[in-house]
Amino acid sequence: MKFYDSVGPNPKLVRMFAAEKGYPLPDTEKVDIVKGENRQEPYLLKNPAGQLPALTLDDGRTIAETTAICEWMEEQQPEPPLIGASAADRAETRMWTRRVEWLVVQPLTAGFRSGMGVKMFQDRMRLFPESADALIASAGDGLAWLNEQINGRETIVPGRFTLADIALYAFLEFGAQVGQPLDSANANIAAWFERTGARPSAQA
Amino acid sequence: MKFYDSVGPNPKLVRMFAAEKGYPLPDTEKVDIVKGENRQEPYLLKNPAGQLPALTLDDGRTIAETTAICEWMEEQQPEPPLIGASAADRAETRMWTRRVEWLVVQPLTAGFRSGMGVKMFQDRMRLFPESADALIASAGDGLAWLNEQINGRETIVPGRFTLADIALYAFLEFGAQVGQPLDSANANIAAWFERTGARPSAQA
């Protein structure tokens, strides 16, 4: 098995998930995404989508996409449950994780690539520079909505620290590094971010 | 249990998944998304994200988000496996489903809402009308990439009909209805679309 790692929020998400679980990631190979190694062979033969992270399994298949890798880890080592210990708990975590991804992660990332990151990404994919500010604002809309949703609770999914927290944390940390700091009006999210950042896994 | 249904590709995806599985969806309530019933109470009390479909479980929790609902159904009734019969198979399906969603479904949907659908959506969420054409083109980029990836195979995940096929089918069918017909240069996807559309579940 091999874990393909790099800088950036997606690999961080998976490392943080592994750290919370105490799951030992296998041999790790670092891929230089700034230089674009991920968009060339040999990496493209492993993950034709050209993104990080990825995990090559014992059977030779390579699994990319953060949530797919985390789900696989949860199945290998169910404790502590970070997706869920029952079908209903897992469904609830997947729902909140997908909301975090579509309402915050997607526009935050697209806003970064089309804005501050345009030079790195312009030769890699189609961008939307005319909408960079609106995309960033859209991520802010998603966060304001989440801020209301978690009012009175400690975690994104009620009562449990899950993949949804980890996904949001990795991308809010990244956002703060690339000109998308959290709006302090989102007091619930700000407190949640501080609590989550105090977990040892946040250093992963 | 109750299933909240409406017009549109997301509910279609879940109905098609249920039909492939032979899983009987529970009592169904239709929500009129054209009139915006989904953005008002009482529906918002069930799904505060205001989207369809959703499934209220026996324990009172409501699960929204297509893939979360499909994963829950797969756990209730594993046969026939549409996500996978092993952890590695499930991981592979989740990877391809997420690629379909991020590379095709997201830009196709955003392009529709910000373009042809702007009147329906302008009071519901932040839009990107200045990028509508580029978003649609981005979905086309994703499809062209998928077209290469599936060269020589019958399904999105190699060797198995899965949730990834269902997700792509529901949104390409929708795209064709809203001014985003499939580019016939994508011959592999065109043949795949015809095969998939011939399955009885495509009428769900």
Minimal-distance CA residue of chain B relative to A138: B126
Q: What is the predicted pLDDT for the residue at B11?
A: 98
Residues A136-160 have pLDDT tens digits of: 999 999 999 999 999 999 999 999 9
Q: Give the residue from B4, B97, B101, B100 showing the smallest Cα distance to B52.
A: B4
**Torsion angle of the four alpha carbons A70, B69, B110, A99, in this order, in degrees rounded to the nearest 10:** -50
Q: From the CB of residue A34, how many other CB atoms can be counted at a distance below 10 Å?
A: 10
ipTM value > 0.95: yes
Measured between CB atoms, which of B88, B125, B149 is closest to A48? B149
Do the Cβ atoms of B126 and A149 come within 8 Å? no
Query: Among positive and negative, which fits the CA dihedral A95, A98, A103, A105?
Result: positive
End-to-end CA distance of chain A: 20
Beta-sheet pairing, B2-5 with B28-30: parallel
Alpha helices in chain B (DSSP H): 9-21, 43-46, 66-76, 87-100, 106-114, 118-121, 132-149, 163-177, 187-197
Across the range B77-83, mean pLDDT stands at: 98
B99-114: average pLDDT:
98
Tally of residues, chain B: 204
* Cβ contact B91–A63 (<8 Å): yes
* DSSP secondary structure of B123-142: TTS---GGGHHHHHHHHHHH
| Whole-angstrom distance, CA of residue A154 vs CA of residue A79 | 20
pLDDT of residue A57: 97
Alpha helices (H) along chain A? 9-21, 43-46, 66-76, 87-100, 106-114, 118-121, 132-149, 163-177, 187-197
Beta-bridged to residue A54, according to DSSP, are A4, A64
Confidence of residue A80 (pLDDT cuts 50, 70, 90): very high
